Chain A
């Protein structure tokens, strides 16, 4: 039987390397997947440009962060990017509405097949990714400032007397808090307000919604605004947490789609749950459990290898293995979404 101290050490280890990073990553995926799922629910197509919309929103945040920093304005211990988020969201929302008016509304008005809209979104993806690269170039950029840690590993060790440290970065804490706020606000909006209810009605049955006098143009515009808000916040949080690089946002599209589908596409709650499922699976399957095992198992049983299920290089592959399994077993996702 392992001693209490070993159990505590093992738990701290897991919290530090698995729970905290997965929670932050899952929150980012959840926000991204919410955007994809809303666009799917209302506009009925899988928006391939969502990853690049996130990159665009982040680009705006970075530009405004720089502008604020140049003015000498910072946000104290918090990253300045949080201040820049609000105007960046407005710019991104305007961009999203412009894209809809110039590209998607044409096909929507003619009741084109969803797949035509998907291909159009590929075109938008190309152009948005070019615009992002025009502005930011292709290199890695870090734009976080303020206090780096909420909890430092050394302080934690001293405080608890354990061998394992626990570090929580400010960006990770912010990610979780912001996600909580945004998701709660979104659910209140969708369930309590008139507009939110109208959106859900429109998503459930377009004809009946139109019949009861819901204005489709308004619904579509609000959907794009919400999608832009979610994309900008998700992109900025991801950029703060890791770093900003245009190409990673295209790669992020895959786990985001996976989250939306695993949760049940068109279902907001599904997107959130899906985001965390994907994130936790990615982190847990690529984590090496050697040290964890050493704490918990008796010495003669201690693992000799890394005890890692898959190399970290296969991180992105995991989301798709989960996706394929879900498609085979329960194509509607966990919370019965629409079958695509």
Chain B
């Protein structure tokens, strides 16, 4: 490779058929050890500025979603930065994590299970039977006969499945459709869903990987993009599973509710001690009471957000530690060796296909965990809101801008890009106000200008991505390459 500066990721030569070698010897300027701490400090200052300038509630909300985004970026970084796999299906794994949150935490809807449970179980049995027969046939027959038999089995299986499944689904969906109309979940604590979300995502990633990982990078991107749309289509339309576009709201929380906190004695005590000076200025007991009430409302909301931030930080740190360990272990070296030169790695006896599948599954699992955390934070599962710009390509921007191949880069990318994503809208609104300050509010142009603040963030995202790719193609915190 002629110029190392433009490698945003693994390189690929013309002759290659499967996947991507990158320039092995990267001539790199020695990185200052202060770079990472300084970048994180700058990020903290930016968030604090939002806290002082806008409100602490917004700042805390940014922190929470940034933590989730950082986790997603780390999952994608595992796939792209370590292994050079172009996964454009991040959205699907996020949504599967969200599904896990519903399946784990929502109480079971017994009525629906009684109505359609038997049919659904039977359907599952039929599906397993189809798969088993197909696998058996695939292993024991050859050539045209095999393709024909598989085709017949699948079609016949579908014809048997369709009425059984259809009946069960309509039975389930008929149960109080305005409130439930789905089978519900297991009624377990929602934190368990973070692990289950990872498992769901990993299982689907294994299936996708089996099918698509042999493809060259652009193909893999298109295939995963398509499969992610299929996953979202299923979640949107299979109402029996998680209510589809009717959404599941009011999910359980791992942290207390604001309204309960406001009644809890130790919390009231804490708040009144914390704000003792302010409360002392109150004129009389009634004024003090109402002041305390107001402070309690604010403090309880902040407490909940901080509690989430604490939980998310713990998860992030655990996974970050694991990722960093993995990257610096022999396994990580092997992954990078495979990425940089597949043929050489294969010649050394590394099983490229198996390793790719492994890292694809692991990365997707992390994204699934992040997806479950996001749904937990939102308290609702809304399949209609998943779109590839927000949930796939935005995470890509995070990884590329942060620095692919570097875990801390992925984290800072998650924080920075989410920050920009949130703050671009007020910035856009500000620009619009500047533009339209002297305009007549009655003109169509003025009214039209008021609508452009929202897409402004898309514009900024594209611009940031292109600028970083052009002028700092290895990201804010570039991958560290050690030479022994």
Is A143's beta carbon under 8 Å from chain B?
no
Asked if A130 and B458 make an inter-chain contact with CB atoms under 8 angstroms apart, the answer reads yes
Asked if A314 and B233 make an inter-chain contact with CB atoms under 8 angstroms apart, the answer reads yes
Asked if A125 and B462 make an inter-chain contact with CB atoms under 8 angstroms apart, the answer reads yes
Contacts of B230 in A (CB 8 A): 314, 316-317, 320-321
Asked if B218 and A254 make an inter-chain contact with CB atoms under 8 angstroms apart, the answer reads no
> Which among B9, B233, B458, B459 has the highest number of chain A CB atoms within 10 Å?
B458
Contacts of B223 in A (CB 8 A): 320, 323-324, 327
**Chain A interface SS verdict (over half):** helix
Asked if B459 and A311 make an inter-chain contact with CB atoms under 8 angstroms apart, the answer reads no
Asked if A320 and B229 make an inter-chain contact with CB atoms under 8 angstroms apart, the answer reads yes
Encode contact with A along B213-255: 1 for CB under 8 Å, 0 otherwise.
0011111011101110110011011000000000000000000
Asked if A316 and B229 make an inter-chain contact with CB atoms under 8 angstroms apart, the answer reads yes
Contacts of A129 in B (CB 8 A): 389, 455, 458
CB B399 to nearest CB in A, in angstroms, measures: 10
Nearest residue (CB) in B for A124 is B462
> Which among B217, B226, B233 has the highest number of chain A CB atoms within 10 Å?
B226
Asked if A120 and B469 make an inter-chain contact with CB atoms under 8 angstroms apart, the answer reads yes
Nearest residue (CB) in A for B222 is A257
Residue of B12, B461, B470 touching A126 (CB-CB under 8 A): B461
Residue of B20, B217, B222 touching A261 (CB-CB under 8 A): B222
Contacts of A48 in B (CB 8 A): 221
Q: A123-B465, A126-B389, A130-B455 are in contact. Are A115 and B6 (CB under 8 A)?
A: no
Is B442's beta carbon under 8 Å from chain A?
no
Asked if B216 and A340 make an inter-chain contact with CB atoms under 8 angstroms apart, the answer reads yes
Nearest residue (CB) in A for B158 is A309
CA gap between A160 and B383 in the complex, in Å: 47
Interface residue tally of chain B, by bracket? 35 or more
Residue of A137, A254, A261, A328 touching B229 (CB-CB under 8 A): A254
Contacts of A106 in B (CB 8 A): 470
Contacts of B469 in A (CB 8 A): 116, 119-120, 123
Residue of B221, B234, B451, B465 touching A118 (CB-CB under 8 A): B221
CB B91 to nearest CB in A, in angstroms, measures: 12
| Segment 126-156 of A: residues with Cβ below 8 Å from B | 126-131, 133-134, 137-138
Q: A46-B221, A115-B218, A129-B458 are in contact. Are A319 and B226 (CB under 8 A)?
A: yes
Asked if B10 and A113 make an inter-chain contact with CB atoms under 8 angstroms apart, the answer reads yes
| Segment 242-260 of A: residues with Cβ below 8 Å from B | 247, 250-251, 254, 257-258
Asked if B6 and A110 make an inter-chain contact with CB atoms under 8 angstroms apart, the answer reads yes
Q: A125-B462, A131-B459 are in contact. Are A116 and B229 (CB under 8 A)?
A: no
CB B245 to nearest CB in A, in angstroms, measures: 10
Asked if B462 and A313 make an inter-chain contact with CB atoms under 8 angstroms apart, the answer reads no
CB A175 to nearest CB in B, in angstroms, measures: 24
CB B45 to nearest CB in A, in angstroms, measures: 27
Is B7's beta carbon under 8 Å from chain A?
yes
Asked if B217 and A250 make an inter-chain contact with CB atoms under 8 angstroms apart, the answer reads no
CB B82 to nearest CB in A, in angstroms, measures: 15
Nearest residue (CB) in A for B219 is A340
Contacts of B466 in A (CB 8 A): 103, 120, 123-124, 127
Q: A118-B217, A327-B223 are in contact. Are A125 and B6 (CB under 8 A)?
A: no
Contacts of B6 in A (CB 8 A): 107, 110, 112, 116
Nearest residue (CB) in A for B463 is A127
Nearest residue (CB) in B for A328 is B211
Contacts of A162 in B (CB 8 A): none
CA gap between A250 and B392 in the complex, in Å: 13
Is A111's beta carbon under 8 Å from chain B?
yes
Asked if B459 and A130 make an inter-chain contact with CB atoms under 8 angstroms apart, the answer reads yes
Residue of A115, A120, A316 touching B233 (CB-CB under 8 A): A316
Residues of A within 8 Å of B, CB-based: how many?
53
Asked if A317 and B462 make an inter-chain contact with CB atoms under 8 angstroms apart, the answer reads no
Contacts of B388 in A (CB 8 A): 250
Asked if A111 and B2 make an inter-chain contact with CB atoms under 8 angstroms apart, the answer reads yes
Is A122's beta carbon under 8 Å from chain B?
yes
Is A114's beta carbon under 8 Å from chain B?
yes
Contacts of B258 in A (CB 8 A): none
Nearest residue (CB) in A for B448 is A137
Residue of B17, B227, B455 touching A324 (CB-CB under 8 A): B227
Contacts of A302 in B (CB 8 A): none
Asked if B212 and A130 make an inter-chain contact with CB atoms under 8 angstroms apart, the answer reads no
Nearest residue (CB) in B for A137 is B451
Contacts of A46 in B (CB 8 A): 218-219, 221-222
Encode contact with A along B1-26: 1 for CB under 8 Å, 0 otherwise.
01100111111100001001000000
Residue of A123, A128, A247 touching B387 (CB-CB under 8 A): A247
Is B86's beta carbon under 8 Å from chain A?
yes
Is B303's beta carbon under 8 Å from chain A?
no
Asked if B463 and A114 make an inter-chain contact with CB atoms under 8 angstroms apart, the answer reads no
CB B118 to nearest CB in A, in angstroms, measures: 20
Asked if B400 and A313 make an inter-chain contact with CB atoms under 8 angstroms apart, the answer reads no
Is A268's beta carbon under 8 Å from chain B?
no
Asked if B225 and A127 make an inter-chain contact with CB atoms under 8 angstroms apart, the answer reads no
CA gap between A305 and B2 in the complex, in Å: 63
Nearest residue (CB) in A for B208 is A324
CA gap between A56 and B235 in the complex, in Å: 30
CA gap between A301 and B8 in the complex, in Å: 62
Nearest residue (CB) in A for B22 is A113
Q: A46-B221, A327-B219 are in contact. Are A126 and B462 (CB under 8 A)?
A: yes
Contacts of B462 in A (CB 8 A): 123-128, 130
Residue of A115, A126, A128, A258 touching B86 (CB-CB under 8 A): A115
Nearest residue (CB) in A for B216 is A340
CA gap between A142 and B268 in the complex, in Å: 57
Nearest residue (CB) in B for A319 is B226
Contacts of A116 in B (CB 8 A): 6-9, 469, 473
Contacts of B219 in A (CB 8 A): 46, 261, 327, 331, 340
Asked if A125 and B393 make an inter-chain contact with CB atoms under 8 angstroms apart, the answer reads yes
Contacts of A261 in B (CB 8 A): 219, 222
Q: 7 A-B contacts, Cβ less than 8 Å apart?
A: A46-B222, A103-B466, A126-B465, A127-B462, A313-B236, A317-B234, A340-B216
Beyond A126-B462, A254-B225, A314-B237, 14 additional contacts (C-beta under 8 Å) are: A103-B466, A114-B12, A114-B218, A115-B12, A118-B86, A119-B8, A138-B454, A257-B225, A257-B226, A313-B236, A317-B230, A323-B223, A327-B223, A331-B219
A residues bordering B, Cβ < 8 Å?
Answer: 45-46, 48, 103, 106-107, 110-116, 118-120, 122-131, 133-134, 137-138, 247, 250-251, 254, 257-258, 261, 305, 311, 313-314, 316-317, 319-321, 323-324, 327-328, 331, 339-340
